[in-house]
Chain A
Amino acid sequence: DQQVKQNSPSLSVQEGRISILNCDYTNSMFDYFLWYKKYPAEGPTFLISISSIKDKNEDGRFTVFLNKSAKHLSLHIVPSQPGDSAVYFCAASARAGNMLTFGGGTRLMVKP
């Protein structure tokens, strides 16, 4: 029972272009969503989050969009840089509990 899904295991983008990573969830109790970036042999690094009361949050090159009716969120990175190459995880939590439920990750490759 995967409550958070990232359907694209990998994504390849040219440097300077936009990267769009997608995430779908099924649990309507989720009200807080986060994106993490992970390099091999390191822990996940927090990137950006969004509460269910918003539909957009922006931080520099990173923007997260939330569509509650579709139970879908996306992370936009623009412009993409080679250093952005990593695995990106979407995660969700519900106010009633603090555990994070993670998607399976999307491997982003930004080509110079």
Chain B
Amino acid sequence: NAGVMQNPRHLVRRRGQEARLRCSPMKGHSHVYWYRQLPEEGLKFMVYLQKENIIDESGMPKERFSAEFPKEGPSILRIQQVVRGDSAAYFCASSLSQGPLGETQYFGPGTRLLVL
């Protein structure tokens, strides 16, 4: 399967715990994006990363949220001290490049986070 992989697919956390969401981009893709979808809403951009660099984090909440895309391994979205309002579906997407021909972002299946 050469698509975008995300794990876990479902994650349950209690308030105050940490959540770690992983994303492996499509083979050959070096651009990774994270989006969040709250119930009954569209997807909202959170952060755009390339290997070892955060390019745009304008959609990330200022506190408790962080993201990385290390040289080796998957991209990680980390949420510290989760609250009930963090319950959502978190989608990762990847693209081949950022030029006009490479702007198509392909999405993974998502991680559904439930905070109790």
Q: Residues of B with Cβ closer than 8 Å to A?
A: 4, 6, 31, 33, 35, 41-45, 48, 55-56, 58-59, 91, 93, 95, 98, 100, 103-110, 112
In the complex, are the beta carbons of A89 and B110 less than 8 A apart?
Answer: no
| Residues of chain A lying within 8 A (CB to CB) of residue B6 | 43
Given A49-B104, A98-B33, A99-B48, check contact A43 B109 (CB 8 Å).
Answer: yes
Task: Say whether A51 faces chain B, with CB atoms less than 8 Å apart.
Answer: yes
The secondary-structure label for the interface of chain B is: strand
Task: Say whether A36 faces chain B, with CB atoms less than 8 Å apart.
Answer: yes
CB distance from A7 to the nearest CB of B (A): 13
CA of A46 to CA of B110 in the docked complex: distance in angstroms? 15
Given A43-B107, A46-B104, A99-B59, check contact A89 B42 (CB 8 Å).
Answer: yes
The interface on chain A, measured as residues whose beta carbon lies within 8 A of the other chain's beta carbons, has a size of: 25
Q: Residues of A with Cβ closer than 8 Å to B?
A: 4, 32, 34, 36, 41-46, 49, 51, 89, 91, 93, 95, 97-105
**Complex: chain B residue closest to A87, CB-CB:** B42
Given A44-B91, A98-B95, A99-B56, check contact A105 B104 (CB 8 Å).
Answer: no
